[in-house]
Structure 1
Amino acid sequence: MAKRPTRKPFTGKHMTLILVAGFTVIVGVNVFMATLASRTFGGIVVENSYVASQKFNTWLDEARREEALGWQVAVARRGDGRLQLELTGAPEDAQVLAEARHPLGHKPDQALTFTRGSDGTWASDAVLPEGRWTLRLRVETPEGAVWRTERAVL
């Protein structure tokens, strides 16, 4: 007759080790994820959410007026590091301003102005450093029309 192997009893020590190991993994993953989150996003979308909520309907009205203008823009990075815009629908005497923001806030914002070239495109006055940027464009006409948009620049 074959002898059966005997099992050691499951004790409180075993359960304690399982619980400690499980919670150690959970806490470790949470600390890791929180560290990644806090290093990649500053968390500020607007400075004061109450004030922003009071202006929301005004912003919607402005967006509708800007959309009704029908202007379009295409953004490209030139070989010399400056940005080039193809702005359609806007008058030739418009003024183009922009603010380039790093999406994660790791680099300081860059203020850019654009000059219209003889070929009808607009070129930035300064070089935009390599990397991913969000370009906030503002086009103004002497008559007071304002058009704003955002474009990603890679």
Structure 2
Amino acid sequence: MASKPLTGTKVFLMLVAFFGVVIGVNVTMMKLAIATLPGTDVDSPYAAGLTYDREISAAQDQAARKWKVNAHIERATDGGAVLQVEARDASGQPVSGLKFGGRLERPTDKRADLSVELSEAGIGIYRGNAASVAPGQWDLVIEGEARGTRVFLSRNRVILN
């Protein structure tokens, strides 16, 4: 059986086929990487930098109040989570009349963040539910407002199984 000779045309077609496969794989991987990119952590780093002094002042005001705010999050049987926040002032008295809100933020993907609306269930006790919370690590962010001004902010890493 005689083999066909290797010609310049065959070598050229093999090179084109090889580089075509490499370029095709690179384009496919690039499109997949761009489609799954979650984006930036903040929309405008410049604007975030401008608000930095206000955040420091708000943190100092919060520390001066000496409030004790305890949060407890627990998995529900339906896959959700129940969040309870208890707020007490410096003398240990319950703090009522605040508007608390919570967020469960994924450390790796902002698209999975969940908001938790909290309502006052008792004097100084605020509760809320989050539906279909995936297991894993979350950042629990709690914000308290009084008369439209943020008076409390807390961020803690939690693990939900």
Distance in 1, Cα, partners of 2:113 & 2:67: 32
Task: List aligned pairs for 1:20-31, cutoff 5 A.
Answer: 20-31=20-31
Say which of 112, 117, 127 aligns to 1:111.
Answer: 117
Q: Is the 8 A contact 1:78 1:84 kept in 2?
A: no
| Distance change >3 Å, CA 85–CA 56, structure 1 → 2 | same
Unaligned ranges ≥5, structure 2? none
Deviates more, 1:69-78 or 1:20-29: 69-78
Q: Cα RMSD over matched residues?
A: 4.1
Task: List aligned pairs for 1:5-24, cutoff 5 A.
Answer: 8=6, 11-24=11-24
**Higher strand fraction: Structure 1 or Structure 2?**
2
Shift of the alpha carbon at 1:138? 2.8
Pair 1:150-2:151 in alignment: no
Shift of the alpha carbon at 1:56? 1.2
Say which of 122, 130, 142 aligns to 2:132.
Answer: 130
Task: List aligned pairs for 1:4-153, cutoff 5 A.
Answer: 8=6, 11-37=11-37, 41=38, 43=40, 45-46=42-43, 48-67=44-63, 69=66, 71=68, 73-77=70-74, 79=76, 82-85=82-85, 91-95=92-96, 97-100=100-103, 103=106, 104-105=110-111, 109-116=115-122, 122-124=125-127, 126-132=128-134, 135-139=140-144, 146-151=151-156
Distance in 2, Cα, partners of 1:151 & 1:32: 32
